[in-house]
Amino acid sequence: MIFNNDKAIYLQIADRLCDEILAGHFIEDERIPSVREYAVTLQVNTNTAVKAYDELARDGIIYNKRGLGYFVTKGAAQEIMKTRKADFVKNTLPEMFRQMKLLGITMDDIIKYWNE
């Protein structure tokens, strides 16, 4: 995984796990890779992966079964989608609309690009 400097690495790892849940790679009540396995996969320090898992557990996306590992919470995909949609509407759309206005891009243009 290539990390960017705009966001803490552990948050980028948490986002990646959320992406994998949304993509159906991990389903409800399914075990996800252990912290160590995921750290090795992403070539990061185990403590960084622990922070990502802790963040997701706090958000109710994953849960820990003592001695068995972490599992995807029921309704996690819907919760991720709800949170991301709200963030998109609040943070991404205003800038996108501003740029569209500056560049003279209309909704008809967007629909045309979407359909291509």
CB 38 within 8 A of CB 13: yes
pTM of the model: 0.84
Angle between helices 35-42 and 9-22 (to 10 degrees): 100
Task: For the chain, 116 residues long, give each residue's pLDDT as a single digit of tens.
Answer: 788 888 999 999 999 999 999 999 999 999 999 999 999 999 999 999 999 999 999 999 999 999 999 999 999 999 999 999 999 999 999 999 999 999 999 999 999 999 99
Which backbone phi and psi does 93 adopt, to 5 degrees? Answer: -60, -45
